[in-house]
Amino acid sequence: MRTTTPCTVEIAHTSHDFYAHVELEDNSIRPGDQVLVHHAPTEIRYGQHIKVDREATISRANWWSRFWTKFIARFELTTLYEVSFSPTRFTKSTRYPRPQAKRSISIGERV
C-alpha cells in the first residue's frame, strides 16, 4: 500500500552543521517502510542552509518485511558501535585490517 504525504526537507552545509533531515507530516512510519521524497534538493553550496516543502510517497511493508526488519535490527545494532571520524581504530578487530603503506625501494637495493 502506498500513501502520499507532505514533508519538509532541511539541508545544511556550513562550518558548524552538515546534515539532511526529512520530517513527514504523516508520522506513522513503521519498521520496513520505505519513503521516497519527490524533487528533493540533492546538492547545496558550502555555507548554505535550506528548508523546502515537498511530497513523499510512503510504501508500507508487509508483515514479513516488518518482522524481518525488527529481527535483523537486533544484530545490526553492533555496527553502530564504532562510528568515528578519527584515524585511530579503538578495537583490535582483525576482520577489517587497515591497508599497510608500501615500502619504497631505492635503486640498487635488494628485496
| 97 within a domain of the structure (yes/no) | no
Instruction: Assess if residue 88 is contained within a domain.
Output: no
Is residue 15, in this structure, part of any structural domain at all?
A: yes
Whether residue 94 is contained in a domain is answered as no
Q: With a cut of 90, say whether residue 7 has pLDDT above it.
A: yes
With CA atoms as reference, report the closest residue to 73 among 29, 31, 27. Answer: 31
Tell me, yes or no, whether 45 lies in a domain.
yes
Number of domains, the chain: 1
Does 96 fall in a domain?
no
pLDDT at 54 over 60: yes
What's the domain range around 35?
2-80
Whether residue 90 is contained in a domain is answered as: no
Answer yes or no: is 9 within a domain. Answer: yes
Residues with Cβ within 8 Å of residue 80, at least 6 apart in sequence: none
The pTM is what?
0.60
